[in-house]
Amino acid sequence: SAPIVEVYLHGGVWSVLADTRFGLVWTVRFALAVLLGVLMPWPATRLLQLAAGAGLIALIALIGHAGATPGTAGDIHLASDMAHLLAAGAWVGSLPALAMLLARARHANDPAWRSFAIGATRRFSRLGIVCVAALLASGIINSWNLLGGPRDLLTTDYGRLLLLKIGLFAAMVGIATANRFHFTPRLLAAGALRALERNSLAETGLGLC
Give the residue-averaged pLDDT of 64-90: 85
**Residue 53: Cβ-neighbour burial (10 angstroms; 0-12, 13-18, 19+):** buried
Task: Tell whether the model's pLDDT for residue 12 goes beyond 70.
Answer: no
Q: Which of 95, 92, 181, 97 is nearest to 134 (CA)?
A: 92
Half-sphere exposure of 190 (CA within 13 A, CB side): 0
What share of the chain in percent tops pLDDT 70?
A: 92
pLDDT number for residue 9? 62
Predicted confidence (pLDDT) per residue in 92-116, tens digit: 999 999 999 999 988 887 888 888 9
Give the residue-averaged pLDDT of 2-11: 62
DSSP 147: -
Task: Tell whether the model's pLDDT for residue 5 goes beyond 70.
Answer: no
Q: Which of 53, 46, 65, 57 is nearest to 83 (CA)?
A: 57
What's the pTM value of the predicted model, to 2 decimals? 0.83
pLDDT number for residue 130? 94
Give the residue-averaged pLDDT of 18-39: 90
Give the residue-averaged pLDDT of 75-102: 92
Give the residue-averaged pLDDT of 36-63: 94
Task: Tell whether the model's pLDDT for residue 50 goes beyond 80.
Answer: yes
Predicted confidence (pLDDT) per residue in 123-182, tens digit: 998 999 999 999 999 998 888 888 888 888 888 898 899 999 999 999 999 998 988 888
CA angle 91, 96, 99 (to 5 degrees): 110
What share of the chain in percent tops pLDDT 90?
A: 49
Task: Tell whether the model's pLDDT for residue 7 goes beyond 70.
Answer: no
